[in-house]
Amino acid sequence: MLIKIFDIARIVLVGFSFFWGYKIGYAHGYDPIAQLHFMIPVIIVSIAGISGLEGLLFADQSAEAKGFETGSNYQRQSAIALLSYAAIAILVYFMDWGIKAELSIFFAFIFFFIFSAVNHAVDAIKRKNYRWQNLNRPFISLLLIAGMIYPVIMALKTL
């Protein structure tokens, strides 16, 4: 049950970031920098931060929910990597290092997230692992990328 709550929290928080991010971005004309300044840390902390905590604190339940093996050192290592994305996103935000730093941590995170989605899709196909927590990653990844393409392109045009 707790793992489902984490899944719901990630989706709701990312949805919240899109709502407010686009609201901020279009408040006075269009400002993709302001939009991404809000969205990037919220998205990364929502996905990577919650997933990292889930992987460290509830490792067995999380692995079972996804149909993966339990007790793997790689699972712990992956959780730590996810937490590092969240920590750096927070650091970049509060230190106000600017859009280049924000985009850098976002690109590193999204690179991991894309390959994680491929890994989940391959697992679903090869092992017929059709659990919701395994199947949703490829689709949610595509939705996230689709929603971020425009503001990222527009922000890059300002550099």
Q: What is the mean pLDDT of residues 116-128?
A: 88
- Residues 123-150 pLDDT 10s: 888 988 787 776 788 899 999 999 999 9
- Residues 23-79 pLDDT 10s: 999 999 999 999 999 999 999 999 999 999 999 998 878 767 766 677 777 788 999
The conformation of residue 67, written as its DSSP 8-state character, comes to T
Q: Which residues contact 125 (CB under 8 A, 6 or more apart)?
A: none
Task: Give the CA angle between residues 89, 6, 110 to the nearest 5°.
Answer: 35
Q: How far apart are alpha carbons 34 and 54 in whole angstroms?
A: 30
Q: What is the pLDDT of residue 44?
A: 98
Q: What is the mean pLDDT of residues 5-21?
A: 96
DSSP string, 32-63: HHHHHHHHHHHHHIIIIIHHHHHHHHSHHHHH
Alpha helices in the chain (DSSP H): 2-25, 32-44, 50-57, 59-66, 73-95, 99-126, 132-158
Entry pTM: 0.90
Q: Tell me the domain boundaries of the chain.
A: 2-158
